[in-house]
């Protein structure tokens, strides 16, 4: 009999506004999958630990200035620097959960309303990155977000930016297939079980012969 090829892991992206609970839900999902015996890894963008990530961190905390285009490309480079290792994990059968990805990348940059930084411009450096098998968007109303506490002190954590970001997420996810919109205004456990359902379905569809895709134009 022939050996079964290893089923590849899935690339699962979790997106959403600040305060939607992305990080807590990613941790819950990681714990759930590992309890199920599924190899899993949780990463987040920006990855502030690399040299590029340190530049991003200092920009976000307001201790340095960057041109809008330049910081955009650094966020993208921060994904490219781990793209290969993501592909390797997936090929070896590990499911990778990613907290924010290219969608945050284009939406936050385009929300600055810089006349030469459109969504279309912003998407270009993302082309060719590993394509998520599933993207979960955690949606939350401005009222519910406000209840969860005020904005943090980082750049972008203000009403004007968050409102534009909300609009732009809607714009890009309306024309995107394979996005699960989750109502993140529900309780942590309700949201977690909805996410588990969507992810279980996605992992069940994985097989070694369907390779990980790449983001297209
Ligand atoms: P975090 O709060 O998830 O650590 O993300 C920090 C901020 O960076 C958040 O406001 C969203 C923003 N961001 C971008 O502007 N571009 C990107 O590519 C990513 C991943 C995040
Ligand atoms: Mg934040």
* 213 vs 215: CA distance, rounded Å: 7
Give me the pLDDT at residue 93, please: 94
Give the whole-number percent of the chain exceeding pLDDT 70.
98
Give me the pLDDT at residue 20, please: 92
Query: Tokens representing 121?
Result: 């411009």
**pLDDT of 45 above 90:** yes
Element at 73 (helix H, strand E): helix 68-91
Element at 44 (helix H, strand E): strand 40-44
Question: Model pTM?
Answer: 0.95
**pLDDT of 123 above 80:** yes
Report ipTM (2 d.p.).
0.98
**Does the beta carbon of 45 sit less than 6 angstroms from any atom of ligand 1?**
yes
Pocket-testing residue among 108, 123, 126, 157, ligand 1, by greatest number of atoms within 8 A of Cβ: 108
Give me the pLDDT at residue 1, please: 64
**pLDDT of 209 above 80:** no
Give me the pLDDT at residue 97, please: 98
Residue 4 Cα, ligand 1 centroid: separation in angstroms?
40
Q: What is the pLDDT of residues 142-191, one digit of tens each?
A: 888 888 887 888 999 998 999 999 999 999 998 887 899 999 999 999 99
Mean pLDDT rounded to a whole number for the chain: 94
Instruction: For the chain, give every domain's residue range.
Output: 11-205
* 119 vs 34: CA distance, rounded Å: 36
**pLDDT of 23 above 80:** yes
**Does the beta carbon of 59 sit less than 6 angstroms from any atom of ligand 1?**
no
CATH class, domain 11-205, is: alpha beta
């Amino acid at each position: 009999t022939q050996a079964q090829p290893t089923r590849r892991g899935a690339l699962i992206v979790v997106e959403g506004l600040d305060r939607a609970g992305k990080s807590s839900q990613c941790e819950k999902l990681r714990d759930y999958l590992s309890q199920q015996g599924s190899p899993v890894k949780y990463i987040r963008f920006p990855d502030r630990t690399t040299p590029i990530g340190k530049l991003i961190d200092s920009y976000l905390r307001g201790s340095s200035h960057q041109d809008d285009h330049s910081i955009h490309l650094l966020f993208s480079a921060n994904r490219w620097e781990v793209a290969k290792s993501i592909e390797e994990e997936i090929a070896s059968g590990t499911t990778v959960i990613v907290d924010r990805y290219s969608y945050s990348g284009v939406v936050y940059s385009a929300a600055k309303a810089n006349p030469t930084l459109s969504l279309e411009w912003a998407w270009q450096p993302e082309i060719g990155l590993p394509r998520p098998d599933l993207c979960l968007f955690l949606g939350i109303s401005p009222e519910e977000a406000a209840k969860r506490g005020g904005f943090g002190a980082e750049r972008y954590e203000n009403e004007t930016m968050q409102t534009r970001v909300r609009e732009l997420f809607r714009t890009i996810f309306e024309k995107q297939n394979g996005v699960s919109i989750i109502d993140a205004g529900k309780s942590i456990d309700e949201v977690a079980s909805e996410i588990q359902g969507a992810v279980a379905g996605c992992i069940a569809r994985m097989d070694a012969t369907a390779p990980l895709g790449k983001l297209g134009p």
